[in-house]
A and B are shown apart, each in its own frame.
Chain A
Amino acid sequence: MRKRLNIPLRQVAPSLRSVLLAQGIPDTHTTHTRHVQMAEQAIALYGSLALPEGVLAEIASEEFAAIYEGEGKNERPAPLEQIYPLCHGLALFAVTVGEPVCREITRLFAQNEFALGSMLDAAASEGTELAATFAEKTHVQHLKDRGEMLVDSGYLRFSPGYCGWDLGAQKRLFEVLQPQEIGITLNPSLLMQPLKSISGVFIVGPTTIFAFEDTYTFCNDCDTHSCRDRLKMVVEQR
């Protein structure tokens, strides 16, 4: 199954809270009116410019093995190499919120509108994450519709460039998935354009296969350790 996703704008609308948090403004703070007004302006601007799209393609484990291997530069051991052979469903994905919003961020900074530019950047980053979540849920729904989402199953996504999966995998991932159809291209450094894009793989399987701890060598270089929250969510998906 390969599917192009026209993602509804309402599905990728960032919350005011997420934009303010990305600017370092905590929930506990009594938010200044001008912060709120600017965040609302950034969200409205994002809404007028975002062109969310995605593409999704199921893939067999054997075929994914070649994509995962990439240019042979993955860290070893790494969580993904231990998880995917045990899963019962894999799907490649790529999503973007489009080029116009990225151009507007650049334009705002060039015009010295730094605060609005920074908030628009935060809104677009959150929107891209929400686009990936929408694609993931779409995939899970396909599986449910086909009766292939088993009891005690969970799902998790990984992207090249993170968690020990070398960015070199992007080449083969793009050859197979062809996200160029929705305007996502790779530059010579294997980074995606538009910049606000995410690619990777969705993995569905028994929740037990996703259990790992962030104690790999490369975890020392990770600033977010967001896997902890992601793994908690896998358990909640049951």
Chain B
Amino acid sequence: MDILERLSESLRIGDPEGVARLTKEAIEAGCEPQIILNHGLIAGMTIIGDKFRTHEIFLPDVLLAAKAMYAGMDVLRPILLRDDIPTLGKVVIGTVQGDLHDIGKNLVGIMLKGAGFEVIDLGHDVSPERFVGEAQRIGAAIIGMSALLTTTMQNMSKVIDLAQQRGLRPQTKIVIGGAPVSSDYARQIGADAYCFDCISAVDCAKRLVGV
């Protein structure tokens, strides 16, 4: 088994120390950083996503793999930055204004990073101005919004309206998620997509950026 396969397997079993060590070994062996990222770390997370979808594994396994992925990224990130290697795209995420629930949004952020996106997490209780201002400032490909209450999900449309006013639409895609929202609601408010969990968010984000 080559080092990238071992790296991918180490990630899949959720072994952060093993992933960090194998990432260093791969670098020392002369592997290109982008190859390590794509064929070791992201390849491992892709298998994790597939197994989650088919119910072979569950959320804790995904999150343990994500922790291992982060351990590898900690080793790899300085080299990726130095070599100016592009990510899949920038994604601004946050829980909408008035809402403090952020576990679901955190999980989406973790999985998007694991898939190779650059994620800017604005936290919770995020105003439309902040969502749109930050997306504009960094040139985000996607704005991801979460809400857990029927009363706060209404603020999602304010973000979409402001993005429209500022000329960010349709090039900046808008994705929504959270317990009270649905595909119908996404269509109703003019969002590009609704994602029901953190794995579907990755598939959706990749589709929206054309990967």
Which residues of A are in contact with B by a Cβ distance under 8 Å? Answer: 23-25, 29, 32, 34-35, 38, 105, 109, 112-115, 118-119, 121, 161-162, 166-167, 187, 189-191, 193, 195, 218, 221-224
Contact = CB atoms under 8 A, between A and B. Distances in A.
B150 A218 contact: yes
B75 interface: no
B101 interface: yes
Contact of A118 (B60, B151, B152, B181): B60
B60 A115 contact: yes
Contacts of B185: 221
Contacts of A195: 100-101
B99 A114 contact: no
Given A114-B110, A167-B149, A221-B180, A191 B100 contact: yes
B134 interface: no
18 contacts: A23-B58, A24-B58, A24-B59, A105-B103, A112-B67, A112-B70, A114-B63, A114-B64, A115-B64, A115-B67, A118-B59, A118-B60, A161-B151, A166-B151, A167-B151, A187-B100, A189-B125, A191-B100
Nearest to A125: B103
Nearest to B181: A221
A193 B70 contact: no
Nearest to A114: B63
Contacts of A24: 58-59
B180 A222 contact: yes
Contacts of B63: 114-115, 118
Given A114-B110, A118-B103, A222-B180, A23 B60 contact: yes
